[in-house]
Structure 1
Amino acid sequence: MRNDLRIGVAGYGLRRSLAREAHRPGNGSRVVALYDPDPGAQRQARAEIGSELRLAADFDTLLNDVDAVMILTPDHTHVELAVAALRAGRATLVEKPLAITVEDCDLILRTAHEHRARLYVGHNMRHMPVVRAMRQLIIDGAIGEVRAVWCRHFVGHGGDYYFKDWHADRRNTTGLLLQKGAHDIDVIHWLAGSRTALVTGMGGLTVYGQVTDRSEGLPQDWFSPETNWPPLAQRGLNPVVDVEDLSMVQMRLENGVYASYEQCHFTPDYWRNYTVIGTAGRLENFGDHGEKAVIRVWNGGRRGYDPEGDLQVPIPAGVSGHGGADEGLVSEFVRFAAEGGMTDTSPVAARDSIAAGVHATESLRDGSTPRHVPPVSPELAAYFAAGQV
């Protein structure tokens, strides 16, 4: 217990599962303090973490007597809290997305650099078994050199999760192409080995803008796969709904790889499908976690329609959230907070996914005009590439 990393948590809402995962008394880390002004969240945290949990009156007080901080609050609050934690020298996990503007991302990176405080971003999909298995197949040369990556994201619960609270207001997210897409854009970058340099976006608010039933708070049955279908039957949407429920992005990466990302919030099914095409084959996942999920590889020569492929790689089902990704993410953060060094997640890559999402959203809202995506400064790139030691 004495050697456990003492963690303070800001926000005990939608991503509270990360805080629960981080509470491992006697096994490396424990959550000792919480800042969340919601009395209901406070009660739930004490019920799940323990009655000894310290409740901080404000964020500055949270920073007392902790070694590390987990920022799990809504997206638009990340920059202020992250800058304060890093200036205080605390190892800091910021849930994805890092921030909702490129300028705020760069401010967070500069603050970590200037104060030599360890910064970690919660891109847990880099720990998802399906993503790691696809990346290993690419590293092993199963499809040759990557030349294209396509991702289709079917957000089947989108009307429940993203249009009934703060997510639906672009002032809090910039847009769902950034908020939800930051995960997938980061995975595309990781699989392709490069960042986006040029984007063009297209999309709109095509369905949920027609739903006129709005609510100041979440209705009692806000999440109900049975009754909230079809999508136009949704009720109790956020008073402000000005983000897109359908979006598409074309990307040219810095290393010449081409990529596309499609996101839809009113599909009946909920999963991600990646297709990666190389100079000697292609791979594709069917399901992204669970017993039936599999990656199929076609690399044995030309043929017609072949649904099975030349190789099938089952995707192991993890125990913790997101197919086991949350456990891997928290374990890496705890080790990094205590020791520093290299991690599979990357603050610069997190910033690059935001930059691509921001500029794609600007393109989408401006007649699909192409946008160049500027890289982070060379000084910051070099610092974070060295592992923040």
Structure 2
Amino acid sequence: MNDIASRPLNIAMVGCGRISLSHLDAIAARPQDARLVAVADRDLELARQVGERFGAPAYATLEDMLDLAEVDAVLLATPNHLHAVQAMAALKAGKHVLVEKPAAETGEDALALAREAEARGLVLAVGHTFRHNEAVRQVEARMPSLGRLLSLEVSMCVRWDGPQAPWWAERKAQDGLILSLFAPHALDFVQLVMGADDPVRVYAEAARLQSGWQGEDEAMIVMAYPGRRMASVHISYNQPTVQDRKTLYFETGILEIEHGEILRWNDEVIVMPPTGVLGDPRKLGGRSLTHYFEGQIEEFAKAVRGRPHRMPTGYDAARLIALIDRVRASARANSAADSIDPPL
């Protein structure tokens, strides 16, 4: 694997469920960066179907693939509760890791992964796909010239009418639902904007409005940062129209991302997505996410090759899970002791 700088990464993917095709299509679209060499799923027949489609052998478990010498990196697209143990196994086998968000269920587990990766000289990266478009890149590039940041608002809402994977319904209220599955996207953007600072105070309210799962499906989060900066986050699985809006308030004006793609400075459009990305962005499926996943594979390859990249890795990834721990603890403290809400 010592020639990794001059060839595509050999990636083995674990988990052939709902999100896997986005990753697999991205790998296929970036042959200069990555090549699929194996897939695994506990449903071996599903793994075989996916492997046949993408030209890779199929296995039943991660462990079956870790002895393959040609594997440089493992991509984990499995249920949340498996992330930490599978990522640790891959790291101990000497493989780089790209894991679907969140990296782990607890900050303690995420920190252990970061330490293991550091000790072995490996990359532990987390799939916060929504970092990888031009609007977010331009936010990062322009912020230093816009003066003092006062506050930040993030609103990310969608309508999921019941579990999108069977394991969603199995998560207990104390495990978190939207705070574990959707909040990482919003909080990753907050962390990206706030840089190395962690919030000095965190307050969260959460509620369950649907009966198809046990955890919360609506949440509001308010955070106070050093320098008297503030951030608020609203996430929902209950909105009939998709919302993805991020607004940064500076002393000199307002920087806003609309529909996750259109960047405006004081109402002047400065970034528009390529043709075909936005159809009807307020409807499910009305916005193409292909470029996010392709950009993520490109950035992961850069990280593994030791080049400048935009992937959240190692200790930065662990900081985010520690923040989610704080958010969930606040939400639990502000809700009923035995559940987010009484049964509907």
8 Å contact from structure 1 (residues 146, 192) kept in 2: no
**Separation in 1 of the partners of 2:214 and 2:325?**
15
Out of 270, 283, 297, the residue aligned to residue 313 of structure 1 is: 270
**Separation in 1 of the partners of 2:11 and 2:23?**
12
Residue aligning to 2:237: 265
CA pair 106-7 structure 1, distance change in 2 beyond 3 A: same
CA deviation profile, 1:348-375 (whole Å, cap 9, x unmatched): 332222222221111111127xxxxxxx
Residue aligning to 1:248: 220
Deviation at 1:88, TM superposition (A): 1.3
Identity %: 26
**1:1-389 correspondence runs (5 A):** 3-16=7-20, 17-23=22-28, 27-50=32-55, 53-63=56-66, 64-65=68-69, 66-141=71-146, 144-156=147-159, 158-160=160-162, 162=164, 165-171=166-172, 174-193=176-195, 194-206=197-209, 208-209=210-211, 237=212, 241-289=213-261, 294-298=262-266, 309=267, 311-317=268-274, 322=289, 324-337=291-304, 339-347=305-313, 348-367=315-334
**Separation in 1 of the partners of 2:57 and 2:75?**
15
8 Å contact from structure 1 (residues 98, 351) kept in 2: yes
**Separation in 1 of the partners of 2:215 and 2:62?**
29
Q: Which amino acid aligns with 1:316?
A: P
8 Å contact from structure 1 (residues 7, 31) kept in 2: yes
CA deviation profile, 1:116-173 (whole Å, cap 9, x unmatched): 22211111111123322333332342xx2212001111113x22455x6322443495
**Separation in 2 of the partners of 1:205 and 1:254?**
32
CA pair 138-4 structure 1, distance change in 2 beyond 3 A: closer
**Separation in 1 of the partners of 2:182 and 2:31?**
35
Deviation at 1:244, TM superposition (A): 0.8
User: Which has the larger Rg?
Assistant: 1
CA deviation profile, 1:240-295 (whole Å, cap 9, x unmatched): x2211111011112454210101121111112111111121112222224xxxx33
Residue aligning to 1:303: none
CA deviation profile, 1:10-36 (whole Å, cap 9, x unmatched): 111122111231136863421111111
8 Å contact from structure 1 (residues 7, 68) kept in 2: yes
**Separation in 1 of the partners of 2:176 and 2:206?**
14
Q: Which amino acid aligns with 1:104?
A: D
| TM-score, scaled relative to structure 2 | 0.83
- Structure 2: runs of 5+ lacking an equivalent: 278-287, 336-344
Deviation at 1:58, TM superposition (A): 2.6
CA pair 295-20 structure 1, distance change in 2 beyond 3 A: closer
8 Å contact from structure 1 (residues 153, 271) kept in 2: yes
SS at match of 1:342: coil
- Greater shift, 343-352 or 58-67, is seen at 343-352
Deviation at 1:326, TM superposition (A): 0.9
CA pair 185-76 structure 1, distance change in 2 beyond 3 A: same
Q: Which amino acid aligns with 2:190?
A: I
CA pair 253-70 structure 1, distance change in 2 beyond 3 A: same
8 Å contact from structure 2 (residues 29, 294) kept in 1: no
Residue aligning to 1:380: none
CA pair 27-323 structure 1, distance change in 2 beyond 3 A: closer
Q: Which amino acid aligns with 1:93?
A: L
Over aligned residues, Cα RMSD in angstroms? 2.6
- Greater shift, 147-156 or 317-326, is seen at 317-326
SS at match of 2:241: coil
- Structure 1: runs of 5+ lacking an equivalent: 210-236, 299-308, 369-389
**Separation in 2 of the partners of 1:173 and 1:35?**
26
CA pair 71-201 structure 1, distance change in 2 beyond 3 A: same
SS at match of 1:261: strand
Q: Kindly tell me the number of residue pairs found equivalent between the two proteins.
A: 316
- Greater shift, 327-336 or 311-320, is seen at 311-320
| TM-score, scaled relative to structure 1 | 0.74
**Separation in 1 of the partners of 2:8 and 2:192?**
32
